[in-house]
Amino acid sequence: MHSRAFVDLRRFFFVLSTLLLISPPARGQAVINVSDDVSLKFGVLGQFWADAISDPTSDSETRNVFVRRLRLITGGQVAKKVTFFIETDAPNLGRATTSKNITPSVIIQDAFASFGAADAFTLDAGLMFVPFSRNSLQSAATLLPIDYGAYTFAQSAPTQSSTGRDTGFQARGYLIDKHLEYRIGAFQGARDPGSHNAFRYAGRLQLNLLDPEVGFFYTGTYLGKKKIAAIGAAFDKQEDYRAYDADAFVDLPFWVGAVTGQFDYNRFDGRSVFVTLPRQNAYLAELGLLVAPVHVTPFLQWTNRDIATPTTIATSAAGDEHRFSVGAAYWWAAHNANVKAAYTLVAPDAAAEQHEFTLQLQLFFF
C-alpha cells in the first residue's frame, strides 16, 4: 500500500517538476507608484499539494490532490511612514475529509497597518501574527520544510485565533544597530459572551548576533544570502493562561552552499482558562543543507509534544506524540518557484503510527 502511494507521488513529482522547469523564474515587482509617499503592490502565493496518509484503523490510505494555500496579497504605503498589508487565503481547496472541499472558502489571513516612526518604534494595528515563537512568525512562503511544526500553533484554537493570528495593537522596533528586536502587544484573545474577560498580552525579544533581520515576517531559510545567528524568547498570556517560548536560528554559508537550522521550545498551559489546552512542552527542530550547484536542500524536521499534566481530553486527541520528517526542496527560482517532497512518520504514544508522503509545488510573487 505504501509503495503504491510512493509510486503515485513520484509520478506527480515528475509531472510538476517538468511544468516548473519550463516556466521562467519570476523577477521584479508589481507596483503602482502614485507619488513619492503612496504606492500599491500586488502578489500571490500558491502551494499545491499531493499527499497520501496511512490510516491504521482501516488499514488503508487517504489520498488528496488539493490547494494547500492560495493567497492574494496586497501591500503598500498610503502616507509617509504609514504602510499596510492585506492577505486573503482559500486554504485546503479541493481537500477531501468527509467530502471534497471544492467550494472556495476565502478568509482574511492578515490585515494590518503599520506606522513606522523610526527604526526603534513601529506601531502595528489589525489582524496579525501574535509575537511568539520564531516558527510561528515565519512566512509560509519561505519555510525550509513543507509546513510549520505540528504544534507551533497549539494555542491558536483555545485563544480563538486564526493560525496564530489575532486582532490587536503591537509595538516593535530595532535597537543596538538593529541587532536587538522587540515586539510587545495587546490582543483580543478569547472572548466570553459578554466580552468581560481580560485582553491577551504577548511579547518577544530577539538578539541577532550577525546580520540583522528586519521586517514583520521572519524568513525560514535565506538560501545562503545572509549570515544569521539569532536567539529569541517570548511570552503569551490571557488571565490564567500562560505560554513561553525560547528559540534559536542559524542560516550561514557553508561548504557547498549554506546550512539552515532552527530549534523552538514552547511551554503551553491553558490552566483554568483554556481547559482544552493541557500543560505541555512542545519542541521543534529543523536542519537543512543547501547544495548550491544543483539548487537542492535535503531537510529534516522533528517535532515532539509532551503532555505534562493529566487531561480529560482523550489521549489519542491530545497525548504525547512525536513526528519525524525527511525530504528535499528543489529551488528552481528560490522561494518564487520550488518543489518539495517529504516523508513524515507520525508516532503517538497511545495510538498506531501513521506514514505520510507529501509533494508540494510552490509559486510565490510579492
Burial class from Cβ neighbours inside 10 Å (0-12, 13-18, 19+) for residue 52 reads: buried
| pLDDT of 29 higher than 80 | no
pTM of the model: 0.89
pLDDT, tens only, 215-225: 999 999 999 99
The predicted structure's pLDDT at residue 13: 47
| pLDDT of 90 higher than 50 | yes
Burial class from Cβ neighbours inside 10 Å (0-12, 13-18, 19+) for residue 167 reads: middle
> How many residues would you count in the chain?
366
Say how many C-beta atoms besides its own lie within 10 A of residue 24's C-beta.
8
DSSP 132-188: --TGGGB-GGG-SSSS--TTTTTTTTTTT-BTTEEEEEEEEEEETTTTEEEEEEEE-
**Span 347-361, average pLDDT:** 94
CATH 3.40.50.1820 fits 2-365, yes or no: no
Is the CB of residue 77 less than 8 Å from the CB of residue 83? yes
Is the CB of residue 247 less than 8 Å from the CB of residue 135? yes
**Span 178-207, average pLDDT:** 95
Q: What is the DSSP letter of 96?
A: B
pLDDT band at 20; cut points 50, 70, 90 = very low
**Span 230-246, average pLDDT:** 98
The predicted structure's pLDDT at residue 316: 39
Return mean pLDDT, the chain: 91
Domain ranges of the chain: 2-365
Query: Between 102 and 312, where is the model more confident?
Result: 102
Q: Nearest Cα to 359, choosing from 328, 323, 331?
A: 328
pLDDT band at 195; cut points 50, 70, 90 = confident
The predicted structure's pLDDT at residue 3: 52
**Sign of CA pseudo-dihedral 190, 194, 197, 198:** positive
The predicted structure's pLDDT at residue 63: 93
Query: Between 150 and 9, where is the model more confident?
Result: 150
**Span 254-271, average pLDDT:** 97
The predicted structure's pLDDT at residue 332: 97
| pLDDT of 4 higher than 80 | no
> Per DSSP, which regions of 188-238 are E strands?
200-208, 228-238
Burial class from Cβ neighbours inside 10 Å (0-12, 13-18, 19+) for residue 338 reads: buried
Distance CA 260, CA 290 (A): 8
